[in-house]
Structure formats: structure tokens, C-alpha cells
Structure 1
Amino acid sequence: MIRSPQMLRAQPLPPSRKIPLDFFTYRIIPVDEDTRLILVATGVAGRPGWLAAYWRSDIAVEITGTVDTEWLYAGMGYIGGFRYHGRIAEHRVAGLAYLEYSDRRR
């Protein structure tokens, strides 16, 4: 079983112990039936934070997407779907994907 820090404590962490994450977006792009590309971007304390793409090897990725669903509020942010097209390594890809978006900047 994978444990997160939230599961190890009975109480939430105090604000002074939390990362001041004010922007978060998470995308899951299905490449084929068995493969997913995961894209993550964050902002911390008003500045760009972490940008990552998860794949099994170092490859070139070029993806363009457009949100094509209504945003659905889901707790601390929104979820939706988007259409995308582009290429991953030498493969052309296109389809529908999942998106999470949370922006806590003021």
C-alpha cells in the first residue's frame, strides 16, 4: 500500500509546514490503450514551480490541446476534458484527455 504524508497524521499539517502551492494543473493524455503521458505544472509563492512530463524514456513531446467540456468544480479546483493533437517521439497522437486545474493565486 502506498502511503502519503496525509495518511500518517490524524490532523492536517499546520500552514507553516505546507508548501505554498498556489497553482496546479495535471493532465492525463492517453497515447494508446496501454500508455499514458502525464503532465504536471505548479506555481509556488507566486512563481513558476515544477513542470514535469512522465514517460518511460527521454523523448520529444509536442502537444496542443483545447478544453472542450464545461469546467466542473471539484473541491479545490476544477476538472474537465480536452481535445489534443501532436506528437510523442515519432508517433502522431490525437484524442480526448483529462485535466485538473487549481489556481489559488489572489
Structure 2
Amino acid sequence: MGRLGTVDVALTPTDTDTVSWFFRSPLYKHFGLLTEYEGTFTHQGRSVTADGLCSFEYGAIPSPYLMRSTPLPPAAKAPLDHFVYQIVDLDADTQILLSRYAIGDRPFMTTAILRTHSGDGTRCRDVDFEMVELRDQSEPTPYGIPMQVPRRTRFLVKDTRGRPWLDFEGIMDTPFTYGLSTGFVTGFAWSAIWRGEEISGRRYFEYLDRRSTR
């Protein structure tokens, strides 16, 4: 339970057994669970119910700050400087996790993980990402360096034969909120062609771009 502005939020998440691993190594582990939620949003005495799919995520890595109390120098920090992450429900039983990572301004990984209630996530390797359009105005940050943010993005996922399987476009039409590491989160509208069918909806977006600071 909590309050966001003038809206009271009361949601109950329930994790499923469907696990998706983003990274799995002796040094760093990061996974997500396909999760169901239900609850209410209340504003000025009026409540609406909501239910659907979401994702519970957990990551763990040994921290150098167990041994020191001062910040690491920039050269010793992980150079992840561009990150895109979109959580999308394609239907009531199917969720896809679209992500793109760049290290030192070079693409490191672009991936899509498809998952349902019936089993573990399936990782799609043949995935392309395109920054279709940036917003005219950059977003201010607490560290004083404005960040350019997208207005439109596109993911193209292909099957094992190289044929388009999901053509997905997102339009960021709500305000960006700072607080994801040194980046932002927002909601967005999307439209897609999935397995030959046109679908659309709204979902959740995470974004980080520190390339201009390097």
C-alpha cells in the first residue's frame, strides 16, 4: 500500500514459478519472476480495481562498500551507460521483457524474453533496437547533467528462421520520473504486430543514458 501524489494505491502481488534469468554468474545474479497483481487505486473517494501481470525482480552482487565508505573512482565503476527496458503484456497470459544494454557507448546485448504461466522464459537472441525519435526537451537530473530521453522506440524480434515475429513500437507519452539508478521510469503507449496480428496497450519503461558524460 502507498500513496502516489493524490492517489492511494493498494496492490497485492503474487509471484508465479516462472523464472527468467537476465544474468547468472558467480559474480552477478539477476532474475525476474512473472508476477500477478490485483488491487485498487483510489482518488478523491473513488476507487477502481486493477489486475494483471507484472514482474518481481532481484539482483545481487558483492558490494565494495562493505570494505570502504567512500565512492569508487569513475574508472572503477561498471561502465553501463545506455539501458532500455520495457515490460509488456502481449495478452492476459503472455509477457515479454525487451531490453538493450550498452557499455562504453557500444551495444553489449539486445534481448527479448517471452514468458507465460506455463513455463520458464524463452530468450530470443535475434533482436534489433532502434531509437526512432528523441524528445525535444532533455530531462533535468539531480547531478546537473540533462539527459536526452526517447519519444519513440522500436524493437524488432525475429524467429529462428530470421522472420519478423514481433514488431513493437513504444511512444513515451507520460512524464519521466527520476529514480532508476541515475535514470528514469515512465509509462508508455505501444502498438505491435505479433505473429501477424495487430495489438496495442500501455506498459512500463526504464531508461538510462549517460553516454554524454563519458
TM (norm. structure 2) is 0.42
Partner residue of 2:111 out of 40, 44, 52: 52
Unaligned runs of 5+ in 1: none
- List structure 1 segments (4+ residues) > 3 angstroms apart after TM superposition: 2-5, 12-19, 56-59
Partner residue of 1:30 out of 80, 89, 92: 89
Give the aligned partner of residue 62 of structure 1.
167
Which runs of structure 2 are paired with 1:1-106 in the superposition (5 Å)? 4-6=59-61, 8-9=62-63, 11=65, 18-55=77-114, 56=122, 59=159, 60-74=165-179, 75-105=181-211, 106=213
Identity %: 28
Counterpart code for 1:11: Y
Secondary structure of the corresponding residue to residue 83 of structure 2: strand
Q: CA deviation at 1:77?
A: 0.7
The structure number with the bigger radius of gyration is: 2
Deviations for 1:55-86, whole angstroms, at most 9, x for unmatched residues? Answer: 13764110112101000111421000111111
Q: What is the number of equivalent residue pairs in this alignment?
A: 104
Structure that is richer in strand per residue: 2
Deviations for 1:9-61, whole angstroms, at most 9, x for unmatched residues? Answer: 47369666654111111001111122111100111112122111111376411
TM (norm. structure 1) is 0.79
Secondary structure of the corresponding residue to residue 11 of structure 1: helix
What is the root-mean-square deviation in Å for CA atoms of aligned residues?
2.6
Unaligned runs of 5+ in 2: 1-30, 32-57, 115-121, 125-158, 160-164
Q: Is the 8 A contact 2:174 2:188 kept in 1?
A: yes
Distance change (3 Å), C-alpha of 1:51 and 1:91: same
Distance change (3 Å), C-alpha of 1:57 and 1:41: closer
Q: Distance in 1 between matches of 2:184 and 2:210?
A: 12
